[in-house]
Structure 1
Amino acid sequence: MSMQQTDQIARGGFRFRLAAALLALPLLAGTASAQAETTLRMVLRNDLATIDPVSSTATFARNHGFLVYDQLYALDSKGEPRRQMIGSEEVSADGRQWRFTLRPGLRFHDGAPVRAADAVASIRRWAQRDVVGRALAAATAKMEVVDDQTFIIELSRPFALVKQALARPTASALFVMPEAVAQTPATEQITSAVGSGPFIFERDQWRVGDRATYRRNPDYKPREEAPDGLAGAKVASVDRIEWLSIPDPATAMGALSSGEIDFWELPPPDLVPVLETMPNVRLEPIDPVGSQVWLRMNHQQPPFNDPRARRALLRAISQKDVLDAAGMPPEDRVEQCNAFFYCGTPLESRAGTEGLESPDFDAARALLKESGYDGRRVVFLDAADLFTNHAATLVMAEAFRKIGINVDVVTTDFATLTARRNKREPVEQGGWNLFITVGNVLDGGDPLSSLYLASPCQGGLSGWPCDEKLEELRRAWYQEQDPGKRRELVDDIQRQAYQSVPYAPSGQFRTRAAFRSNLRGIRPTTVPVFWGISKAAQ
């Protein structure tokens, strides 16, 4: 890193430490005194910028989705799919015919009953966008409604993970919408947020950059099972939720200390020692496996349309420097993790990682030269409102300059980045070359669900990789019925991924959420959900 960038990160840490002196200030006092005691106020890693969890893979769309919608199946704490809106299923002996029946009494927020037609329309729209949905759709010969409570899926070829697919919780997550809403083209944003979930979105009170509000759904019918991961009973135990925009960490910490907010998903690591000393504040990881920093390249535009240029980036990245710059303490990080499917999981692999134990700038320069890189400007999008993404961008940009890349860091916020990364045009026309995102184990913990591993040549997510061999290996994995044989395929998949480099795993870490000690029911759900959480007097 340059001295200027080092100073920038250091000044940020100094500012955070000074913020402890501000904790007594009533920064949001007017808001706090006006609300009922059963209002839960939260600050998440992003503000709500869109309400469509299909058209956007951003975390804010997913978080909104879990508040207002329900799922057909849901993953429990062991990652196993459990019935959620489904009451029963019947499967043929060969696993090709599936008959699903909804549990009775489900209703949307407007009072309309949830029907099989709503579920089928929702699956079809989701399958146009999501990597898991596309895989299921490609294996489906027929999907149709039988009656108001029943629908069928008939497979044309093996697909071993049907229920796992229907439990898709992240990226373009699968939530059930009313049929009329789900018939919106997947390329267009929906405008309705009517779901059947435990909370109702108050759309007329939504102000981007300020707040989004939700009220308890009095007609929601939870399952009888206890909450377990993302599955089980979704009991709304507070009357109202306010999702507040507080981008300044010092202000957010002051608000948490004074009780003006209740939950802060992602406090910067630099502030954790201060938060640990606060009375009535607790810190706990809600994601036990942790997250990975991912460097995504634009595979359609030079110079990273050449796999040698992408492999050059791999040789220049120091995961230690990335995690150091982000302030991740030793106990909350994996010092070096090159596993595409995360370290510490059953699918952790070292295949294809030879030579990636530490940066090798000479090897990186040689690969870059082989690729024919001509010194052109490389646009690296920087989400400065996310501390991990921002720190990783600055560190990597400096490393890439050292191997001879003409890097132009374009600073923006994450909401703007999520829009710009969909542009396929050259950088001279508003396009891009690189950006950082952070994925948890639900985003990329296996070859089917990994949204940025998928390299389908047609369609796909921002970056648009194309690797037919990798796709063949992925298909072999999710078609295989034997879990042991699926595990054997993981090494082959990772070796091929390190040849084509759809993205670069660049550091694994764990964060801790901070919340008031009078909140009950905070669980390790990997993503933040707010059913089953109650707020006692304090």
Structure 2
Amino acid sequence: MKAKKISLFMAIISLVLIIAGCSGGGKSSSTTTTSGASEGGALKEELHYASNAQPPSLDPLMSNAVVTREVASIIYESLVAFDENYEPVPMLAESIEQSEDGKTYTFKLRQGVKFHNGKEMKAEDVVASLTRWAEKSSSARAVLVDPVFAEVDEYTVTLTLGQGTTLALGALANVSHLAAIMPKEIVESAPESGVTEFIGTGPYKFVEWKQDQYLKFTKFDDYVALDTPASGLSGKKEALVKDVYYDIVLDPSTQLTGVQTGEYDIAGGILQDDLAQVEANKDLAHITPFSMNYSILLNRKEGPFTSKEMRQAVSLALDHDSLAAVAAVGNYTISPSLMPKHIEKWSTEAGAEFFNQKDTEKAKSLLKEAGYNGETVTILTTRDYPVMYNEAVAMKEQLGAIGINVELLVYDWATALAEVRSSPEDWDLFTTSFPGVPSPAEMLYFAEGYFDGAESDTQKELLAKIRSAATHEEAKQYWEELQTHSIEDVKIITTFGLNAIHAYSNKVDGYKYFDVPVFWNVKVAE
């Protein structure tokens, strides 16, 4: 049987080409090299990172919250990881072979990799971990058909699928619901609420979690690093500081003050309004990685937006540039691409003719065609995320200008999410946001368990074709069709992409953000 093989050798060649050919400018994983830690001076043993959220769980399969994936990526690793170009390359796997029909993947495992409890990672651990992942991960459910993981020998694992797909390795590399490899005994003893011991193979191991204060991680002395160049979340990882503190700092102004005074080395929740202070401070640097696509979910189950004409009227009336200017100030991008633009292999302008049209006269005509007669349209939003609330206020004004009677329904975020799922009769539009995913098939709003999912036959058929396509090029053609259909039919309105602001001391060298904060290969000068 012919087979395609991905090996560490090929990964090295790929990463060398990346480093030689790319400056890194404009990437979501931008880094800044600073002098303090790179000139041979004394180094700190601690790094303090200020986060604006506390994880609901440290088990990556128990939550798809961004903060859970951030802390899980410190502890755990998977068989594959994304490089700078969002290509999955071997991490805990030494090599990967794919059968010609795309239904069987054979993973040769790296030997000598240790868990944080001292046990060597072997095939039984991988099979137990990934069988659980396949059951619980939204990416696995979206991409894999009838997956079965099996042990061939102590260092070989196979994945057998009921249908071939080019998306399997990307799903395994996804940091949301990370396919974390854990010891078999921890996986098998886990209750429904999640694992109770947090033991992985990463360069840092978990030490303690003081609720509402911090999570502490310390260098794992027995970590076995790859010798391939670091790229994205792949390649060589070195713990260059002894202890990493993930400090829970909910107030953005406290984060700003802390990074200015040196209490925090890195602050991951800086507001756009405070960026000028960061830029004016010679002791600070910053990066602006992609954060979320801010979007308007339309209630297509009941109410006025079961009408396509009503949905299109709203889409035509909205001025995305004005919405973004009010809600996100200056830290945003506007694009018809439903996939984040930095994921270049999937980003596309398909459907641009139906995007951000700002045609109020045509919108008014469609309102008449739909029989709209002044009924109240309810926008569900939250003050917990000011960007969402500010967008809702601006949207109310824009829709009012074409004659739609709008009222805001404002809840805390948890209640708003509950309303979306349990009380569709109470709302018509919902301000929300979505992080990036490895492929369109893994987008949350196409998932069966999310509000309306892929509710049309066209959406279901095109998603199935994306999953089963023999090549990426074929899959992308189907995605371009699906994106065009989704924009024209107004499945969802993606208004703008928001970038986060991470400020850090000039004493920090090597920090980057690539879907998660990257703490390995980072130095902090005294």
Name 1:25's counterpart in structure 2. none
The Cα shift of 1:242 comes to 1.9
TM-score using structure 1 length: 0.79
2:418 corresponds to 1:424: no
CA deviation vs aligned residue, 1:349-389 (integer Å, no higher than 9, x gap): 3433434333345555665673879946736131x344433
**Unmatched 5+ residue regions in structure 2?**
1-42
Name 1:532's counterpart in structure 2. 521
1:326/1:388 contact within 8 Å kept: yes
1:250 to 240, 248, 253: 253
For residues 194 and 428 of structure 2, the distance between their equivalents in structure 1, rounded to whole angstroms, comes to 23
One-letter amino acid matched to 2:165: F
2:58 corresponds to 1:65: no
Name 2:337's counterpart in structure 1. 339
2:181 corresponds to 1:176: yes
TM-score using structure 2 length: 0.80
Structure 1 stretch displaced more, 148-157 or 251-260:
148-157
2:200 corresponds to 1:195: yes
2:454/2:460 contact within 8 Å kept: no
2:485 corresponds to 1:496: yes
SS at 1:466's partner residue?
A: coil
Name 1:212's counterpart in structure 2. 215
One-letter amino acid matched to 1:194: I
For residues 112 and 321 of structure 2, the distance between their equivalents in structure 1, rounded to whole angstroms, comes to 52
Structure 2 CA distance for partners of 1:375 and 1:472, relative to 1, 3 Å = same
1:299/1:464 contact within 8 Å kept: no
Name 2:322's counterpart in structure 1. 321
CA deviation vs aligned residue, 1:81-133 (integer Å, no higher than 9, x gap): 11111122233333332221221222332333333233233333333444431
For residues 364 and 187 of structure 1, the distance between their equivalents in structure 2, rounded to whole angstroms, comes to 49
CA deviation vs aligned residue, 1:191-228 (integer Å, no higher than 9, x gap): 4433222222334x3313x3222222223222222211
Name 1:447's counterpart in structure 2. 440
**Unmatched 5+ residue regions in structure 1?**
1-35
For residues 301 and 511 of structure 2, the distance between their equivalents in structure 1, rounded to whole angstroms, comes to 42
Name 2:86's counterpart in structure 1. 79
Structure 2 CA distance for partners of 1:501 and 1:240, relative to 1, 3 Å = farther
Structure 1 stretch displaced more, 369-378 or 320-329:
369-378
1:144/1:153 contact within 8 Å kept: yes
2:468 corresponds to 1:461: no
Structure 2 CA distance for partners of 1:462 and 1:221, relative to 1, 3 Å = farther
Name 1:163's counterpart in structure 2. 169
The Cα shift of 1:75 comes to 0.5
For residues 186 and 323 of structure 2, the distance between their equivalents in structure 1, rounded to whole angstroms, comes to 42
For residues 371 and 121 of structure 2, the distance between their equivalents in structure 1, rounded to whole angstroms, comes to 54
One-letter amino acid matched to 2:286: L
The Cα shift of 1:419 comes to 6.2
For residues 84 and 409 of structure 1, the distance between their equivalents in structure 2, rounded to whole angstroms, comes to 46
One-letter amino acid matched to 2:78: Q
For residues 303 and 51 of structure 1, the distance between their equivalents in structure 2, rounded to whole angstroms, comes to 41
The Cα shift of 1:462 comes to 5.0
For residues 362 and 125 of structure 2, the distance between their equivalents in structure 1, rounded to whole angstroms, comes to 54
1:298/1:464 contact within 8 Å kept: no
For residues 524 and 389 of structure 2, the distance between their equivalents in structure 1, rounded to whole angstroms, comes to 34
One-letter amino acid matched to 2:220: N
SS at 2:493's partner residue?
A: strand
2:43 corresponds to 1:47: no
2:506 corresponds to 1:517: yes
For residues 483 and 394 of structure 2, the distance between their equivalents in structure 1, rounded to whole angstroms, comes to 25
Name 1:33's counterpart in structure 2. none
2:303/2:428 contact within 8 Å kept: no
SS at 1:475's partner residue?
A: helix
For residues 373 and 138 of structure 1, the distance between their equivalents in structure 2, rounded to whole angstroms, comes to 47
CA RMSD for the aligned pairs? 3.3
Name 1:127's counterpart in structure 2. 134
Structure 2 CA distance for partners of 1:215 and 1:94, relative to 1, 3 Å = same
One-letter amino acid matched to 2:387: T
The Cα shift of 1:64 comes to 1.3
For residues 411 and 237 of structure 2, the distance between their equivalents in structure 1, rounded to whole angstroms, comes to 39
For residues 241 and 392 of structure 1, the distance between their equivalents in structure 2, rounded to whole angstroms, comes to 36
1:305-320 correspondence to structure 2 within 5 Å: 309-320=310-321
For residues 460 and 317 of structure 2, the distance between their equivalents in structure 1, rounded to whole angstroms, comes to 27
One-letter amino acid matched to 1:435: T
1:254-333 correspondence to structure 2 within 5 Å: 254-287=257-290, 291-300=292-301, 302=303, 304=305, 309-329=310-330, 332-333=331-332
The Cα shift of 1:524 comes to 5.2
1:306/1:371 contact within 8 Å kept: no
For residues 405 and 177 of structure 1, the distance between their equivalents in structure 2, rounded to whole angstroms, comes to 53
The Cα shift of 1:159 comes to 0.9
Structure 2 CA distance for partners of 1:196 and 1:422, relative to 1, 3 Å = farther
CA deviation vs aligned residue, 1:151-175 (integer Å, no higher than 9, x gap): 21123322123322221223x3322
2:417 corresponds to 1:410: no
1:112 to 95, 115, 119: 119
2:152 corresponds to 1:146: yes
Name 2:23's counterpart in structure 1. none
The Cα shift of 1:480 comes to 2.1
1:484 to 462, 468, 473: 473
The Cα shift of 1:469 comes to 2.1
Identity level (%): 21
For residues 446 and 359 of structure 1, the distance between their equivalents in structure 2, rounded to whole angstroms, comes to 29
One-letter amino acid matched to 1:496: H
For residues 47 and 294 of structure 1, the distance between their equivalents in structure 2, rounded to whole angstroms, comes to 24
